[in-house]
Amino acid sequence: MINNRQRAYLSSLASNETPIFQIGKASLTPEIVTAVDEALEKRELIKISVLKNCFDDPKAIAQTLAERTRSEVVRVIGKKIILYRKSKKPGIHLPE
């Protein structure tokens, strides 16, 4: 579980990143969940964009994705989701 200070740190790291996934009309498909899971293992921190044609709530999508990928929701800002999961070879060192 990450604390507020770590959440702020991760959010600042992700602020310059471009979203690597887009969730559209089909919402959460098993393929997207698998791709997000693989990306989290490689990158630890990813940003996802929810498109206008997706009618699901971005916060609900973020929560579902976090549960299915065993990751944590760093932040949901508008239609952008930031997820974090420590990988086996961590590259991001969180503040205490």
Three-state DSSP state, 56: coil
Percent above pLDDT 90 for the chain: 77
Place of tokens 């498909």: 29
**What CATH class is the domain 4-84?**
alpha beta
Q: So where are the chain's domains?
A: 4-84
Report the alpha-carbon distance of residue 5 to residue 10 in Å, rounded: 9
Could you tell me the two tokens for 83? 């997820």
Instruction: Specify the pTM.
Output: 0.92
Task: Encode pLDDT of 3-24 as tens digits.
Answer: 999 999 999 999 888 999 999 9
User: What's the rounded Cα separation, in Å, for the pair 74 and 62?
Assistant: 9
For 44-61, the pLDDT digits (tens) are 999 999 999 999 999 999
